[in-house]
Copies of this chain bind each other. A is one copy, B any other.
Amino acid sequence: MVLSSAIEALKEALKALPGVGPKNAQRMAFHLLERDREGAKKIADALNNALEKITSCERCNTFCESTLCDICASEKRDKSLLCVVETPADLQAIEQVGAYQGLYFVLMGKLSPLEGIGPDQLGFKRLNQIVAENEIHEVIIATNITAEGETTADYTQQMLMPYDVKITRLARGVPVGGELEYMDQRTLAAAFKDRRATSQ
């Protein structure tokens, strides 16, 4: 039996979801069509709504529905601290700990020569500008503790060396190979607390 083309197309489309293979995509498609058409409609609408509304914060790059995100727009955040992360998910993970009160900068990725991602593909130019033009006392480099994340951190550190700013990196409380997004809050809080000054 050839499945109807609309179902085949749906299965194919659902494979864009991270961690979803053909078998799982079919299960999802059948489930929605059989038992939750309302849920399916909600997903479609929520996707279209998010695609339409979500842009990037003009200053820090994170997801945002206006020009500035809530963090960048807030009067309460400590503007002398800047935390550099790879992705909005990492920013979100740190925010959930609630231990950091400074601002962020989201690189939107990590250096990855194999995938053709160099400094120009990430937000380094703007990061440089932000550090140059603002009174920032400390930049906390909070990239993932993976090979590519460490390379990205090294690059960031080198780039910021000319400036009169303290540069720190997360303590290695985060296990090697781990990704911030999936870390438990206590590990992440400890890593924040124990951030170390870099040897310059």
CB within 8 Å of B: which residues of A?
Answer: 1-7, 9-10, 12-14, 16-19, 24, 26-34, 36-37, 39-51, 53-54, 63-65, 70-71, 87-89, 91-92, 95-96, 108, 181
Contact = CB atoms under 8 A, between A and B. Distances in A.
A75 to B, nearest CB: 15
B33 A50 contact: yes
Most buried by B among A24, A49, A96: A49
A58 B60 CA distance: 55
Contacts of A39: 13, 16-17
Given A6-B65, A40-B51, A41-B51, A34 B71 contact: no
Contacts of A45: 13, 44
28 contacts: A1-B70, A4-B64, A6-B46, A7-B54, A9-B50, A10-B46, A13-B39, A16-B42, A16-B43, A17-B17, A17-B28, A17-B39, A17-B43, A18-B28, A18-B31, A19-B27, A26-B89, A29-B50, A30-B92, A32-B47, A33-B50, A33-B54, A33-B63, A33-B88, A34-B88, A40-B50, A43-B47, A44-B51
